[in-house]
C-alpha cells in the first residue's frame, strides 16, 4: 500500500494572521503536512503591528481578550504570568490590563516556536524571503520569491496583513509613518505636521517623543476626531435588531444611539452598547449592500472608529497632557494643497477648516501621513499587482482588500472560488470589516485551518 501523499501549505506573511493560521494547522494536521511561512521582513511573528520597538505603543485591546486561541481564552494571560520579568511593564487600570505591542510580539514568537517544536502535528519551516508571484499549476500552485526560487504547494494562504508601500523616503513628506526615518533627525525648534488624528497618529506622536523630539506637533484630519479611551463598562445585552436596522445604515445608527442612552441611564456607559454589537458586527456589515457600505466609509466610519477602537487609559492621559501643554494641536479641515518649501527644506500644508471659512496654511519641517493603511486598489505591492494581473484574485467591490467567500476562499477574476487559495486577516476587511483585531483573526485562523484540512469534496462547497 503506497504512503499517503504529503500535503504542503504555504502561508505568505508571518504576522499575527499567518502565525495563528500556522499554529492552528499544527494542532489539527497530520504529521506529514508541511507548512512553510514566508516573511519578507525577515522577522517572524511580528508584521507591521508588532514589529515596533517602542514600549509606549500599547495594545488597544485588553490583555484579557488577546489570547491567540478561541478555545483557550486565557492563554495570553497565562503566558504573561509565566514571564515574571514583564510584570512591571503591564499597565494596570480600572478598565483592565494593557501591554505593549512589543511584548505581544514576543508572545506570538513563542507560539510560533512552540508550533515548530511540536512533534505530533504538521512540520513548520520559516523562509525569510519576499514572495512576488503565485501561479496556478495543476491542482496546486507555484510560489516564486524575489530571488527567483520556485516551490510547489497544494494550498496557499495570503496573510500579508496590512499591505503598505515601504518605499525608502527622505522627506520632507513621509508617506509611510512606520519607517524609522519618519521620526528621526528633526529640528526641535520647527513643528511637525501629522496628517490623520487616529490610532496611527497617536503611535507617531509617541515615537516622536521617544526619539527626543519635544517640539510642536500639529495633527490634521477632516473631522479632528481622536480615539476615545477604554473605561470600566458593564455588560449590555445584544439588542434585537429589526430587519430595517440590519440593512439600513441610518436606522442602525439611530438604534445604536438609543442603546447608548439606555445603557447610560441604566448605570453602564456608551461603551457597553458599542461592545454589545461585537458578536454581530460582521453580519451587520455583510447585510449592507455596496452603496450602503460606501456611505458608511464616507460618513460614519470616523465616528465608529473612535468609539469602537479605543485606546489604553494611560495613552489617553499622555495625549491629554500633550494637548494641555500646547505641544500637540488638533486641527480639523480638508487639505487643499501640499507644497515643498525650496528654502529650508520644509513643507506647507494649506487646508480649508471644517465648517468653512478662510483657507489656512501651516508650515513645518516634515509632514507624516498617518491616515492608516492604503487600500488594496492603490497598492504597489509586487505580489498584489501580480495576483490581480493574472486574474487569480479580484478586489472586493470597494477596493479595500481581496474578495473572498465566507469560508475565506479567494474569488478569482471571474468571481469563482479559486480552489486551494485562501486569504485571512486585514486583507479581507472589505468582506468582513471587523477582521483586523486578534479576537477576530484567531477565530478566522481556527476555522480556516479546519477548512484546509477537510477532504477535497467538502472543500468544494462554498459558503457564500
What pLDDT is recorded for position 47? 67
| Cα-Cα end-to-end distance for the chain | 39
Using a 10 angstrom Cβ sphere, with 0-12 exposed, 13-18 middle and 19 or more buried, the burial of residue 425 is buried
Report the distance separating Cα 108 and Cα 375, nearest Å.
Answer: 26
Pairing of strands 7-12, 328-340: unpaired
Considering the segment(s) 173-228+311-369 as one domain, its CATH architecture is 3-Layer(bba) Sandwich (3.50)
Structure confidence at residue 212 (pLDDT): 92
Spatial separation of the C-alpha atoms in residues 170 and 218, rounded to whole Å = 20
Phi and psi angles of residue 172, each rounded to the nearest 5 degrees, phi first: -75, -5
Q: Is cis: bond before 51, omega within 30 of 0?
A: no
pLDDT of residue 31: 82
Q: Where are the domains of the chain?
A: 7-164+375-459, 173-228+311-369, 243-293
For 141, list phi and psi in degrees, rounded to 5: -140, 155
**What is the residue whose three cell numbers read 484546509?**
452
CA distance 264 to 276: 14
CATH top-level class of 7-164+375-459: alpha beta
| Chunked mean pLDDT (size 10), the chain, 464 residues | 69 93 90 89 67 84 95 95 88 94 92 76 85 94 95 96 65 87 92 96 95 95 96 94 93 95 95 95 94 94 94 96 96 94 84 92 95 76 91 94 96 95 95 92 95 72 49
- Which residues lie below 8 Å from residue 282, measured CB to CB, with a gap of 6+? 432, 433, 434, 435, 440
| Cα 221 from Cα 354, distance rounded (Å) | 9
Average pLDDT, the chain: 90
256 and 277 in contact (C-beta within 8 Å)? yes
Please say whether the beta carbons of 197 and 366 come within 8 A: no
Distance from C-alpha of 131 to C-alpha of 382, rounded to nearest angstrom: 8
- Global confidence as pTM: 0.91
Amino acid at each position: 500500500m503506497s504512503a499517503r501523499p504529503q500535503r504542503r501549505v504555504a502561508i505568505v506573511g508571518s504576522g499575527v494572521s499567518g502565525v495563528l493560521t500556522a499554529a492552528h494547522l499544527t494542532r489539527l494536521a497530520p504529521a506529514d503536512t508541511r507548512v512553510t511561512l514566508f516573511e519578507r521582513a525577515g522577522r517572524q511573528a511580528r508584521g507591521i503591528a508588532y514589529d515596533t520597538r517602542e514600549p509606549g505603543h500599547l495594545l488597544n485591546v485588553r490583555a484579557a481578550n488577546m489570547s491567540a486561541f478561541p478555545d483557550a481564552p486565557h492563554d495570553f494571560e497565562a503566558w504573561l504570568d509565566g514571564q515574571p520579568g514583564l510584570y512591571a511593564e503591564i499597565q494596570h487600570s480600572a478598565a483592565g490590563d494593557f501591554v505593549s505591542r512589543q511584548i505581544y510580539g514576543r508572545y506570538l514568537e513563542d507560539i510560533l516556536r512552540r508550533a515548530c517544536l511540536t512533534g505530533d502535528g504538521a512540520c513548520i519551516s520559516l523562509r525569510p524571503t519576499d514572495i512576488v508571484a503565485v501561479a496556478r499549476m495543476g491542482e496546486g500552485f507555484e510560489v516564486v520569491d524575489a530571488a527567483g526560487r520556485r516551490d510547489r504547494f497544494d494550498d496557499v494562504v495570503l496573510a500579508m496583513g496590512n499591505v503598505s508601500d515601504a518605499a525608502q523616503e527622505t522627506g520632507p513628506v513621509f508617506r509611510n509613518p512606520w519607517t524609522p526615518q519618519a521620526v528621526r533627525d528633526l529640528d526641535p525648534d520647527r513643528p511637525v505636521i501629522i496628517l490623520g488624528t487616529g490610532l496611527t497618529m497617536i503611535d507617531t506622536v509617541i515615537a516622536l517623543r521617544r526619539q527626543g523630539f519635544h517640539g510642536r506637533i500639529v495633527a490634521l484630519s477632516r473631522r479632528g476626531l481622536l480615539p476615545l479611551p477604554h473605561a470600566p463598562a458593564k455588560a449590555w445585552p445584544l439588542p434585537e435588531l429589526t430587519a430595517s436596522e440590519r440593512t439600513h445604515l441610518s436606522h442602525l445608527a439611530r438604534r445604536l444611539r438609543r442603546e447608548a442612552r439606555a445603557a447610560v441611564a441604566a448605570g453602564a456607559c456608551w461603551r457597553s452598547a458599542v461592545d454589545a454589537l461585537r458578536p454581530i458586527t460582521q453580519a451587520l456589515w455583510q447585510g449592507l449592500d455596496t452603496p450602503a457600505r460606501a456611505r458608511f466609509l464616507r460618513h460614519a466610519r470616523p465616528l465608529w472608529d473612535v468609539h469602537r477602537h479605543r485606546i489604553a487609559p494611560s495613552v489617553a492621559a499622555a495625549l491629554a497632557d500633550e494637548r494641555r501643554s500646547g505641544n500637540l494641536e488638533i486641527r480639523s479641515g480638508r487639505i487643499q494643497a501640499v507644497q515643498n518649501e525650496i528654502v529650508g527644506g520644509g513643507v506647507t500644508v494649506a487646508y480649508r477648516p471644517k465648517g468653512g471659512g478662510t483657507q489656512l496654511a501651516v508650515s513645518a519641517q516634515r509632514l507624516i501621513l498617518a491616515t492608516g493603511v492604503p487600500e488594496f486598489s492603490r497598492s504597489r505591492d509586487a505580489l498584489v499587482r501580480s495576483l490581480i494581473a493574472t486574474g487569480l484574485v479580484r478586489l472586493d467591490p470597494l477596493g479595500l482588500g481581496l474578495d473572498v467567500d465566507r469560508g475565506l476562499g479567494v474569488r478569482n477574476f471571474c468571481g469563482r472560488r479559486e480552489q486551494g487559495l485562501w486569504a485571512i486577516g486585514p486583507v479581507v476587511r472589505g468582506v468582513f470589516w471587523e477582521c483586523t483585531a486578534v479576537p477576530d483573526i484567531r477565530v478566522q485562523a481556527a476555522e480556516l485551518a479546519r477548512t484546509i484540512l477537510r477532504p477535497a469534496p467538502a472543500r468544494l462547497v462554498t459558503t457564500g
